[in-house]
Amino acid sequence: MNATTEKRVALISVHGDPAIEIGKEEAGGQNVYVRHVGEALGQLGWQVDIFTRKVSIKQDEIVQLNQNCRTVRLVAGPVEFVPRDELLEHMPEFLDNFLKFQKENNITYELVHTNYWHSSWVGMQLKKIQGTRQVHTYHSLGAVKYNTIENIPQIASQRLTVEKEVLETAERIVATSPQEQEHMRSLVSTKGNIDIIPCGTDIHRFGAVERQAARAELGIAPETKVILYVGRFDPRKGIETLVRAVNESQLRGDDDLKLIIGGGSTPGNSDGIERDRIENIINELGMNDFTTLPGRLSQEILPTYYAAADVCVVPSHYEPFGLVAIEAMASGTPVVASDVGGLQFTVVPEVTGLLAPPQDVAAFSAAIDRILLNPQWRGKLGQAGRKRVETKFSWDGVATQLGELYTQILQQTVKEPALASK
């Protein structure tokens, strides 16, 4: 490894642009992940270029995120939003433009960290073309996701093939929880190298706002019981389960109950359709007077919402990791979550919150009530959650682990011929 390339990595996140607004359409956890990982690695002295797809002519080609970290937008297909299930056909163009960028800038990336399956395809081609080393994070596994949805998209078989190939050929796969690793082994392949490095959160921002101050800012009375959801409007997120669970709560009818469902949407798009569906259920159940849907919540205002809440609910049918759970915990707010995927890793039942079977309205209702009806216990759960996030899920810690992994892989690159000659 020579000195100039020593600490350089390209993160490839085709549909997860780190420099756009988070919390609507298909912009969620992956965008947050690549941005924070990129910035934190930059602070550790890595030269980080995050490659994503340009979706509007108004977008700059290059956005500097910090001194060592920038977003690079490449053209691949029409310069507009394209649903992720339709992106694969544009990946050869993405690859060509990546190679062109390398040439024009006199850079050859020895290491790429790819995110989500289309990006993994790009990484695998780079390996074939120029021997690039590849680290991959799935963010979502087709093999798990397709078990939880009714309409399997046409792209499914190609996705499953690509996801198997990258597991077997990448230098390293980063699973974000032991549960995800187990799914890879049982559902995808027994071959390949997997490390577990979790997602992280900003422990300085989340947790910086006092509960009282947060409530004052949002105009919520101290005695109100606040139930919070944060996330995209997507049927997989299980918002319907939450709404029905709150409808069955013992506190239903109590003047002091408040349900906040935060997340952005665009009318006519899939998230707009899901929001309309949820609003119809709220209307049918007569829950309008105590339910608010404030729309997309910026990362700046989110710490205030989490701090003001009594409980944060993550009712997903399937969740590879679930950043919202650790953001709430970092803010000292207990979490009631589905007993699935990464949520089984982040939420410790009876210690930092409670787990309930996905889509089980009665179980969610009982879990929410247990926390709301016991404020002292609520406080303890919140403190334990904060502690768990501080020790396990800070971005700095995550980036340090990733940096060590990258270094190890880059060093192996040089050692290989020597090993082969033994």
Q: Catalog residues that contact ligand UDP under the rule CB under 6 A.
A: 22-23, 28-30, 32, 230-232, 262-264, 296-297, 299, 302, 321-324, 327
Q: Which is nearer to ligand UDP, 364 or 393 (CB)?
A: 393
Q: Which is nearer to ligand UDP, 26 or 310 (CB)?
A: 26
Contact indicator for 320, 341 with CB cutoff of 8 Å: yes
Helices (H), 51-155: 91-105, 117-130, 142-145
Contact indicator for 333, 382 with CB cutoff of 8 Å: yes
For residue 189, count CB atoms less than 10 angstroms from its CB and return exposed for 0-12, middle for 13-18, buried for 19 or more: middle
24: DSSP letter: B
Q: Which is nearer to ligand UDP, 94 or 116 (CB)?
A: 116
- Nearest approach in angstroms of CB 161 to ligand UDP is 23
| Alpha carbon distance 33, 38 (integer Å) | 8
Reported as type and span, the H/E element at residue 175 is strand 172-175
| Alpha carbon distance 286, 387 (integer Å) | 38
- Nearest approach in angstroms of CB 399 to ligand UDP is 16
Reported as type and span, the H/E element at residue 330 is helix 323-330
Q: Which is nearer to ligand UDP, 101 or 116 (CB)?
A: 116
- Nearest approach in angstroms of CB 383 to ligand UDP is 21
- Nearest approach in angstroms of CB 36 to ligand UDP is 9
3-state secondary structure of 261: strand
| Alpha carbon distance 96, 108 (integer Å) | 14
Q: Which is nearer to ligand UDP, 19 or 323 (CB)?
A: 323
| Alpha carbon distance 338, 19 (integer Å) | 30
Of all residues in the shown chain, the one whose CB is closest to ligand UDP is 28
- Nearest approach in angstroms of CB 59 to ligand UDP is 19
3-state secondary structure of 273: helix
| Alpha carbon distance 27, 5 (integer Å) | 31
Q: Which of 221, 282, 291, 288 is nearest to 256 (CA)?
A: 221
What are 154's two structure tokens?
A: 């046409």
Residues composing the chain: 422
Contact indicator for 156, 179 with CB cutoff of 8 Å: no
Nearest 5°: the CA angle 204, 210, 214 is 110
- Nearest approach in angstroms of CB 290 to ligand UDP is 20
- Nearest approach in angstroms of CB 162 to ligand UDP is 20
- Nearest approach in angstroms of CB 326 to ligand UDP is 9
Q: Which is nearer to ligand UDP, 97 or 201 (CB)?
A: 201
Q: Which is nearer to ligand UDP, 262 or 385 (CB)?
A: 262
- Nearest approach in angstroms of CB 129 to ligand UDP is 30
Q: Which is nearer to ligand UDP, 101 or 321 (CB)?
A: 321
- Nearest approach in angstroms of CB 30 to ligand UDP is 6
| Alpha carbon distance 20, 362 (integer Å) | 38
Helices (H), 170-301: 178-183, 211-218, 239-247, 270-284
- Nearest approach in angstroms of CB 212 to ligand UDP is 22
Dihedrals phi, psi of 208, to nearest 5 degrees: -85, -15
Q: Which is nearer to ligand UDP, 235 or 397 (CB)?
A: 235
Q: Which is nearer to ligand UDP, 22 or 409 (CB)?
A: 22
What count of Cα atoms within 13 Å lies in the side-chain half-sphere of residue 360?
Answer: 15
Q: Which of 23, 29, 73, 84 is nearest to 51 (CA)?
A: 73
Q: Which is nearer to ligand UDP, 124 or 282 (CB)?
A: 282
